[in-house]
Amino acid sequence: QKEVEQDPGPLSVPEGAIVSLNCTYSNSAFQYFMWYRQYSRKGPELLMYTYSSGNKEDGRFTAQVDKSSKYISLFIRDSQPSDSATYLCAMSGQAGTALIFGKGTTLSVSS
């Protein structure tokens, strides 16, 4: 079992839809959880950062962490064609250490 599992998709939705992206993990020591967005042929761009459990909201994006279930989610409200990208979840146990990544979910938002 990989440490971080993420459904690769692809996920296709119409503009304006609510998108839910998810990852599960096996290492209970993970405390730092991040979501990155990666456009084709670009570097990963940090979207959201969460420490431990709970929710965090930033504009149209909401990140949720459920440590009891070892499950994290990213919600995108009112999705836009510009949200079309690959979304990577990442996590680590300590600040300053390497991130363990999911393989990414490819999202396509059609207008």
Partner 1 sequence: DAGVIQSPRHEVTEMGQEVTLRCKPISGHNSLFWYRQTMMRGLELLIYFNNNVPIDDSGMPEDRFSAKMPNASFSTLKIQPSEPRDSAVYFCASSLEVSSKGRYEQYFGPGTRLTVT
Interface contacts to partner 1, rule CB under 8 A: 32, 34, 36, 41-46, 49, 51-52, 88, 90, 92, 94-104
Q: Residue 19 carries which side chain, given as an amino acid letter?
A: V
Considering the complex, what minimum distance in angstroms separates the CB of residue 78 from partner 1?
25
CA angle 62, 63, 64 (to 5 degrees): 120
Q: Which is nearer to partner 1, 15 or 45 (CB)?
A: 45
Q: Which is nearer to partner 1, 38 or 62 (CB)?
A: 38
Say if residues 11 and 107 touch (Cβ distance below 8 Å).
Answer: yes
- Strand pairing partners for 12? 108
Q: Residue for token digits 């570097």? A: 43
Considering the complex, what minimum distance in angstroms separates the CB of residue 86 from partner 1?
10
